[in-house]
Structures are given as C-alpha cells and as structure tokens.
Amino acid sequence: MKRTTVSALFILLCVHLLLVSPIVAKEKQSAAKKGATKAESQAKKSKKNAVVEETRLGKVVDIEIKGAKNVNPSIVLLSLTMKPGSELSEALIDENMKRVFNIGYFTQDIGVDVLSVKDGKKVTFKVVENPVIKSIKIKGNTLVDESKILKAMQNKAGQVFNSALVSSDVQSVQKIFDEAGYTINNVYNVQFDGEVLTLFVQENIIESVKVVGNDKTREYVILRELKFKTGEVYDDKKITKSLQKIQNLGYFSEIRPRCEPGTAPGKVDFIIEVKEQKTGTITIGGGYSSANGFVGIFEIAQKNWRGKGQTLNARLEFGGTRTYEFGFVEPWFRNKRLSLGGNVYNTRTTQKFYQPNKPVTDYTESRKGFNLSLGKPFSEIVEGSLTFRDENVSLTDANDIQNVLNQNYIREGHYQTLSAYLGRDTRDNVFNPRRGTFNAVNVDSTGGFLVGPDAFTKYRLTLRKYQAVNSRGVVAGRITGGTINLSKGTLPLYEEYGVGGVYTIRGYEWREFIGKKMLVGNLEYRHKMHKNFEGYLFFDFGDAWGSDSLTSTNAASDYKIKKGYGVGFNFITPIGPIRIDYGKGEDRTGKAYFSMDRMF
C-alpha cells in the first residue's frame, strides 16, 4: 500500500513537470514582455515630453535689439514674425535670426539671448552692423551722368551698407543704361571694402560692322546709312535709327541685326544680315483714274541702279492723261549727303472748270519742261531741298474755256519757278507708317529774275500724324493749308489751288473748288487685314476760296467747309499700291475713286 502511494506521487510529479511548468514559464515570459513594452512606452512618453519641454520654451513677453547703433531698431522689429505673446521655440528663433540677417544691414554674427522674466521670456537679438559707406564709385562708365546713377541707388554714402539692396541697385543702374540706349552695357561686379562701395561697368564697344546677304547692293550703300561708327559704345537708339534708315531705302524685305563676340571682352562685332528684294520694275497696265478717266501706263524703273542706290525711271501714260517722263536721282552726290536729281517731262491733262449752277467747262492743259533738285539733310529728321523748274504751259481744246474766262486767266506762257522745301520726318516707316509725324513747308515762287509774265508766290504747310492703336490698327491724320500771294500780273486758272477728288476731299469732283487759299483735313482709321491688304474709314473736310478766276465771272468764291466720308481699300501689288475709295459728299450721292498711290 505504501509502495503504491509513492508510485502515485511520482507519477503526479512527472505530470506537473511536463505540463504545468511550461505553461507557468510561458506566462512568466508573457508577463515579462508586457512589462518591457509598458516600460518602453513610458520611456517614449517621457522622451516626447522632454522634446515638448525643449521646443516650447515659454511665451515671449518682450523683444530687444542690441547692437543697432545707426539702424533704427524698429526696422528690425517690423521684419520679425516673433511678437509678444508668441510661443517661443528653437524653430521660431532660427527663423527670425535669418530674417534679421536678410534685412541686409548686419553681418552674420547674430546672437540670441533668452531670459526668463515675469510671465514669460525676454528675447534679445544681438547684431553687428555693417560698416558705414564712406563713398560710392562707378568704374568703367563714360556715358551716363554719375549723379543720375547715384540718385537711382538705394545704398547711399553716409549710410550703413545694405547687402540686400545690392541686387536692386544693380537693376536700377541697368535700367538707366537701357533707357539711355546702352542695352548691352552691364554692371558685372560690385565690391565693398568696408569704406568704399564700387560698381564695375562694362561698356561694349563696336569693334566692326559686317553686312551679310547683299548680293547686289554695294556694302557702302548700306554702311553710309549708319548713325554710329566702329569704336563707339553700343547705343541702342543709334542702332534703331540706323536700321530704320536702311529699311526706308526699300531695297530689302528683311533686316536681321545681331552681335557676336569681338577679339576681347567688352568688344562686339555688329552683323547686319539683309535679304534683298526686287528694286527694278517693268509696269504695263492701265486703270481708271477718277481725275482723268482711263489711263494706260508703261514704266521702267530701277531704284537701286547698279547697286549704288541711284534711281532711274522712264514713264509713259496715255489716255485721259498723256505723260512722257524721264528721271534720275543720285542720293549721295560726290559721296556727300547731298541728293541731286532731275526730270524731263511732257504732260497733257484734261481739266474741268466748275462754276456754281452752270455747266462744267473742259479744257486741256499741257506742260513741257524740266526740273533740277538739290537736297540736303540738316539732321536725322530734318531735310530741305531747292528745285528749279523751267516749263512751257499751253492750253489746247480751249475754245469753251476762252468763252467763259478772260484771256488773262488762261494765258499760255514760259514760266520758271524756284521751289524751296523743308520737312521734318519722325515716321517709323516711310512706306507704311504706324507712328510718328511728317511736317513740311513748301514755297514756290515765280517772277523777279525768273522768266514769266506773272509774279506770284505759293505757300503750303502740311502736317501729318500717325498713331498705332493696336497691332493692326492705325489712326492717320493730315492737315494741309495754303495761300498764294500775287505781286504782278494775274494768277492763271491752272495755278490756283484745287480742292476736291481722290487726293483732297473724297465725295466731290477733281478740283471742283479752286482759289488762292486752301485748307483741307483728312482723318483715317486704317486696319491691316493681310500683309498686302488694308481697309480704312475716312472723313475729309475743307475748301478752296478767294478765286480770281471765279470772281471774274461774277461767281462767289467764299469759304464754305465741304465734308466727305466713306470707306476705302489699299492693295500692295507688284506694280505698286492700288487704292479704291468710296466717298459721299454732303449734297450728293456716293462716288467711287481709283488711284495708284496712297492718300498720305
């Protein structure tokens, strides 16, 4: 019995060791793991609290700036994002230290002290000011008034040097150069040695000028139009004027300027690349002129003869107008800026004489002679010329007009005339202006030492204005006025001013109104619809009055303004511009006009 009990106890002990002990060990391991996890969590929580305590240093109650002797501390305070009441942190301190430095008045030696005071923290920014500028020097500048540059800069002598303003100062100086026309000049370096602030300017010199693409045109024909010379500083205004003058020659369809590096820094080669267009024309055609009916045309013209820029033309017109004309112009006589030209001509034109409430009288006016002109530019935009004209004037088919007018007003004869011209031209393009003005004075005089049965002087003033309103639209205006002073004899009918028709007031007949005085105004809005096609709206007004010829017939010749308005189209063709207008006068139906040139 005792042996059996011992055996049973032994068996229970084995079962306990095999089953119960592993479970207890596992529970102990689980408990240990849970304890470790709890300890780790508590450690992380403690660490997080430590970070919060480290970054959140308390509330800011006061801010002080130390070391700002010449700089007003309020400038620094205004730049800070830290304000009284802000929650102080290391990140906030770092951000505001950067802000203080970026003001530009201080060195990088910026310190911060945080002091615990009642209700929070007092933050003190300790700064070291940059030196005071004793003087400012501009080196390399020979073109722009230095006082203008110094005035534009924000850094001033006698003030603390501000490194943050250097960039804007350079931009301000560059803007002065650009506005003066020196667009490729630049400030390439800025130095401050603690006393003197120095700006280094590079003025680019044009070392050479080269022309590319001129297969026909002689190079000197292009170069003589330039307003600058090699060895001069690049001047954008002179460059622009030069390119405009080359464009106005009419020899090139495209002009592409560019600069290439020269033999050394500060030197550039200026390249003018051109694309030549046809300058010679042979025109065979015809059309209907509102002034002279059907007109046939044959013309040979070359405006760049032999590539020397000379103009040569021969023209024949027949029909309502008969013209034989031969002309030549040398724009640079003897290599000087003197133009010399001449024409030989023989014209016959059908004219009409209008009297109030009477039938129109036709007559034919013939002129045969020549003229010689000498022109000279006085500046970039002002030029003048003198022209001598010698011609014989005769009237054919004049029986009807002789029955209407006294012989003195339709007499024939040999006349010599001396004409003076002075013009001022600021148009951007003489062929298709979009901006600028053209003003001119003309004086034609006969009599005195000049051959002619009568003596009179004709004065004429022309004012034009062009203004682009958008990329396609242009408003163009013109006012023309004239008067004639008769000092001997009588003034022939054909020498009086004529108003009306395609060149003055559209909506009326050619030379419908005549007189010794004249005033005409024209206003157009032009809109380019295509490269070679534009449409426009127009309004014309004016009159001619004080006619001796009309007065001799007991007809009134008082001033009474006439008005016309309408629409027109201008076409650019190989034979030149073709203009079609439809105008309506005040007291009549509309009238169509055809011509082969611009109005103005």
Among 52-56, 97-101, 260-264, the range of highest mean pLDDT: 97-101
Strand, coil or helix: 206: strand
- Tell me the pLDDT tens digit for each residue of 322-333: 899 999 999 999
Q: What domains, with CATH codes, occur in the chain?
A: 58-126 (3.10.20.310), 135-202 (3.10.20.310), 205-276 (3.10.20.310), 356-595 (2.40.160.50)
d(CA 491, CA 422): 25
- Contact call for residues 410 and 363 (beta carbons, < 8 A): yes
402-424: buried (b, 16+ CB within 10 Å) or exposed (e) per residue? eebbeebbbbbeebbbbbebebe
- Tell me the pLDDT tens digit for each residue of 354-371: 988 888 888 889 999 999
251-255-261-267 Cα dihedral, nearest 10 degrees: 60
Q: Quick count: other Cβ atoms within 10 Å of Cβ 341? A: 19
Question: Looking at the predicted structure, is the pLDDT value of residue 242 above 80?
Answer: yes
d(CA 319, CA 301): 21
Q: Nearest Cα to 580, choosing from 568, 596, 591?
A: 568
Q: Quick count: other Cβ atoms within 10 Å of Cβ 240? A: 14
pLDDT at 84: 94
Q: Nearest Cα to 490, choosing from 513, 456, 517, 444?
A: 456
Going by their DSSP bridges, the two strands 576-585 and 590-595 should be labelled as antiparallel
- Tell me the pLDDT tens digit for each residue of 543-563: 999 999 998 888 888 999 999
pLDDT at 190: 95
d(CA 317, CA 286): 9
Element counts in the chain: helices (H) and strands (E): 10, 28
d(CA 94, CA 112): 9
Query: Cα–Cα distances in Å, from 67 out to 11, 107, 125, 356?
Result: 91, 11, 9, 96
Of residues 302 and 8, which shows the higher confidence score?
Answer: 302
Q: What percent of the chain has pLDDT over 90?
A: 64
Q: Nearest Cα to 570, choosing from 536, 523, 519?
A: 536
Q: Quick count: other Cβ atoms within 10 Å of Cβ 180? A: 16
Q: One-letter amino acid identity for 430?
A: V
Of residues 297 and 464, which shows the higher confidence score?
Answer: 464
Question: Looking at the predicted structure, is the pLDDT value of residue 535 above 90?
Answer: yes
Give the H/E segment covering residue 87: strand 87-88
pLDDT at 578: 84
Q: How confident is the model at residue 440 (pLDDT cuts 50, 70, 90)?
A: very high
Q: Given phi > 0 = left and psi -120 to 50 = alpha, else beta, which region is 205?
A: beta
- Contact call for residues 274 and 252 (beta carbons, < 8 A): yes
d(CA 574, CA 596): 12
CA–chain centroid gap for 178, Å, is: 14
Q: What percent of the chain has pLDDT over 70?
A: 88
Verdict on whether the full-model pTM lies above 0.75: no
Q: Quick count: other Cβ atoms within 10 Å of Cβ 387? A: 19
Question: Looking at the predicted structure, is the pLDDT value of residue 39 above 70?
Answer: no
Residue 170: both structure tokens together: 């350079």
Q: What is the mean pLDDT of the chain?
A: 86
- Contact call for residues 512 and 500 (beta carbons, < 8 A): yes
pLDDT at 289: 52
533-570: buried (b, 16+ CB within 10 Å) or exposed (e) per residue? ebebebbbbbbbbbbbbbeebeeebeeeebbbbbebeb
d(CA 505, CA 562): 8
pLDDT at 24: 35
pLDDT at 56: 57
d(CA 246, CA 226): 8
DSSP for 303-316, written as a single string = EEETTTTEEEEEEE
Q: Which residues contact 78 (CB under 8 A, 6 or more apart)?
A: none
**Partners of residue 182 on adjacent β-strands:** none
Query: What's 233's DSSP letter?
Result: B
Q: Give the number of residues written for the chain.
A: 600
Give phi and psi for 467, each to the nearest 5: -145, 115
Query: Cα–Cα distances in Å, from 451 out to 112, 369, 391, 393, 445?
Result: 100, 13, 10, 13, 11
Give the residue-averaged pLDDT of 80-104.
94
- Contact call for residues 547 and 564 (beta carbons, < 8 A): no
Q: Nearest Cα to 61, choosing from 126, 125, 115?
A: 115
Strand, coil or helix: 389: strand
